[in-house]
A and B are shown apart, each in its own frame.
Chain A
Amino acid sequence: MRGALLRAAAGKALRGRWIHSERSSSGVANFGFREVPEDEKAGMVGAVFSSVASNYDLMNDIMSGGLHRLWKDRLVSELQPFPGMQHLDVAGGTGDIAFRVLDTIYSKEQRSPQKKEVNEKEVVDETRVYVCDINASMLDVGRQRAKTRGEPGISVCGQIRFKFLMVKAGLGELPSLVWVEGDAEALTFADDSMDGYTIAFGIRNVTHIDKALREAHRVLKRGGRFLCLELSHVETPIFKQIYDFYSFSVIPAIGQMVAKDRNSYQYLVESIRRFPKQDDFARMIINAGFSNVQYENLVQGVVAIHSGFKL
């Protein structure tokens, strides 16, 4: 879904920049069925989302028929958050996953029968959900939402390493939700610091997927879990035809009607087809060092949740 907007920006606001930019020698990245210079892609992603952050949810709802909420619920229930967890949600600017994780932890705290054994309040206070996104506007939307929920949060600029942050905060006490501006391929978190890592509908937009996976492996603790929710490939015979028709004919038409932007949606659908298949992506995850890698198809493969452990 994000990828759609890449092309929109490339087509509209950035066209001038595009013509005058120099082609670097480092290589090319996929841009739907187009190719663009690698170093350009990340910047373009950032720029695009600045302009569409506020409409992001509407687009998701239209394209998935509201199902994206269920898929995110499923992702978080797979994660099984626990009180005291250090969790990192990457490319989750608007906070969908982060809020669900926090809600699950709070409800677990209330239902827990083991209260007498452990000091529950202390442990819950240790809970920390970090939301990392390359785009400041998406984070802004998330922060606004957090305020509406009454969730205290703190924002961090991507360059600061976390030890410094703790010192700066003075007490070693951070609120539960921390918004971080940063790049999935070069995370600013310490090694072995996270219990969980999720990336929902974001890994398709990363220029080097294997780098992002390796970063995920780096920041996870031993025993930590990697979860990725992403649009994926459908193989079931008849449903595949229906899905292709829906993707290539219906979605761009809706995009034209609602957002006056057929091209973005056309791009989006193409980029989904370019993303590696479930098994290939699972192999990439294994190559990054994860064990016990599995995937689960939702809606016959329209969406897939990949899971791996760092052992």
Chain B
Amino acid sequence: KEEDDEKRRVLNAALTYVPTLGWTEAAIAAGARDVNLSPAILGAFHRKEAALVEYFMDESLDELTDAVEEQSEELEKLVLHERLAKVMRIRLEMQAPYISKWAQALSIQANPINLPVAMKQRAVLMDEIWHSVGDRSTDWDFYSKRAILGGVYTAAEVYMLTDYSPGFRDTWTFTERRIIDVIDCRKTAKEVMQRLSESWKFRPVLLSGSGMVQAAQLAQAIGAGLGNTIASFLKQPRPGP
């Protein structure tokens, strides 16, 4: 519809003002002026700053899809964990121009009113990343992969906020290491789960959701080679999305 097109044009123009004005109504008003619309158009956006952040997330997703298509040949030459790291790097680099105000964007997304949309956009993003590296799983793995990658992505995003190395070098190193950890854990988790399912006495633990999480955590501990004892494993907090 025409109104939506106009709104998108305003938000697009507003993005250029984000590094100076932040993710605020002032940026949207400045964007509106750029496209020859009165700042009164702000009234048409229901959750103003959130609309700007969400627009950015959607645009970045589209750009990611395009970039992955362009670089598909190079990506095919890489191993799985390198491929994941590269795709995540492409996506995170889109945030680089706005990095000075990205903490503000995160806090806007964490606002309870905006949280559902933000979570959905992130879920779609994780799905896109896995899809672009060639994941075609159709079992429980589908969810666990996206959840775990979501954790890695968020960690990398937050790390990037305080990364002052040239070209965000440290963030990319961090991302690669976390992905390697996670992939190993996944495989080991599968093996451990299989072994557990074979032993009958673990049945009540298995059937509970928290039991599965605990099992996965145990597998992570083994896979990462941290050598945790069962006791310290029990004291750990649950892994989050």
Q: Please list the residues of chain A having a beta carbon within 8 angstroms of any beta carbon in chain B.
A: 78-80, 82, 85, 114, 117-118, 195-196, 220-225, 291-292, 307, 309, 311
A305 to chain B, nearest CB (A): 12
When C-beta atoms are compared, the residue in chain A nearest to B26 turns out to be A114
The answer to whether A221 touches B38, judged by C-beta atoms less than 8 angstroms apart, is: yes
Cβ B2 vs Cβ A311 within 8 A: yes
Please give the distance in Å from B111's CB to the nearest CB on chain A: 18
CA of A61 to CA of B3, assembled, Å: 39
How distant is the Cα of A18 from the Cα of B41 in the complex, in angstroms? 46
Binds A, one of B29-37, B130-138, B195-203: B29-37
Main SS class of interface, A: strand
Instruction: List B contacts of A220 (CB < 8 A).
Output: 38
Chain B residues with Cβ below 8 Å from A225 are 38, 40-41, 43
Known contacts A80-B43, A114-B26: does B21 contact A223 (CB below 8 Å)? no
Set of chain B residues within 8 Å of A85, measured between Cβ atoms: 39-40
Seen from chain B, the residues whose Cβ lies within 8 Å of a Cβ on chain A are 2-3, 6, 20-21, 24, 26, 29, 32, 36-44
Q: Bound state CA distance, A78 and B44, in angstroms? A: 10
Q: Determine whether the beta carbon of A223 is less than 8 Å from that of B38.
A: yes
- Flag if A223 contacts B2 (CB, 8 Å): no
A294 nearest in chain B by CB position: B44
Decide: A82 near B29, CB < 8 A? Known: A117-B21, A222-B36.
yes
Given A114-B24, A222-B37, A223-B38, A311 contacting B3 (CB threshold 8 A): yes
Given known pairs A79-B43, A80-B43, A309-B44, the reply for A223 and B3 (CB within 8 Å) is: no
- Min CB distance A53 to B, Å, is 30
Decide: A80 near B37, CB < 8 A? Known: A114-B26, A223-B32, A311-B3. no
CB distance from A229 to the nearest CB of B (A): 15
Interface of chain B, helix or strand or loop or mixed? helix
B6 touches A195 (CB 8 A): no
B2 is contacted by which of A118, A221, A291 (Cβ under 8 Å)? A291
Residues of A within 8 A of B43 (CB): 78-80, 225, 307, 309
Nearest-CB distance from A248 to chain B (Å)? Answer: 36
- Pairwise interchain contact A117-B40, C-beta atoms closer than 8 A: no
Question: Are A82 and B44 neighbours in the complex by a CB distance under 8 Å?
Answer: no
Can you list 21 A-B pairs, Cβ within 8 angstroms, ordered by A?
Answer: A78-B43, A79-B43, A80-B43, A82-B42, A85-B39, A114-B21, A114-B26, A117-B20, A220-B38, A221-B37, A221-B38, A223-B36, A223-B37, A223-B41, A225-B38, A225-B40, A291-B2, A292-B3, A309-B41, A309-B44, A311-B41
Contact indicator A195/B2 (Cβ below 8 Å): no
Give Cα distance in the complex from A78 to B37, angstroms: 18
Q: How far is the CB of A310 from chain B (nearest CB, A)?
A: 8
Other A-B pairs beyond A78-B43, A118-B26, 19, CB < 8 Å = A79-B40, A79-B43, A80-B40, A82-B40, A82-B42, A85-B40, A117-B20, A195-B38, A196-B40, A220-B38, A223-B32, A223-B37, A223-B41, A224-B38, A224-B41, A225-B38, A292-B44, A309-B40, A311-B2
**Whole-angstrom CA separation of A146 from B151 in the bound complex:** 59
10 A-B pairs with least C-beta separation: A223-B37, A223-B38, A223-B41, A221-B38, A225-B40, A195-B38, A224-B38, A195-B40, A291-B3, A224-B40
| Chain B residue at minimum C-beta to C-beta distance from A118 | B26
Chain A residues near B42 (CB-CB < 8 A): 80, 82
- Cα–Cα, bound, A225→B2 (Å): 16
Residue in B closest to A80 when the chains form the complex, CB atoms = B43
Closest to B17 in A: A117
| In the complex, residue of chain A having the shortest beta-carbon distance to the beta carbon of B1 | A291
| Residues of A with C-beta under 8 A to B32 | 223
> Please, how many angstroms separate the alpha-carbon atoms of A220 and B41 in the complex?
12
B151 nearest CB across to chain A (Å)? 33
A309 and B4 CA atoms in complex are apart in Å by 12
A118–B29 alpha-carbon span in the complex (Å): 13
Residues of the A chain whose Cβ atoms lie less than 8 Å from the Cβ of B20: 117
Contact of B39 with A223 in the complex, beta carbons under 8 Å = yes
**Chain B contacts for A196, CB-based, 8 A:** 40
A82-B29, A114-B21, A223-B32 given as contacts; is B3 within 8 A of A195 (CB)? no
Distance between B58 CB and nearest chain A CB, rounded to angstroms = 20
Q: Collect the chain A residues with CB atoms within 8 Å of residue B37's CB.
A: 221-223, 311
- Are B21's CB and A309's CB within 8 A? no
Nearest CB on A from B26, distance (A): 5
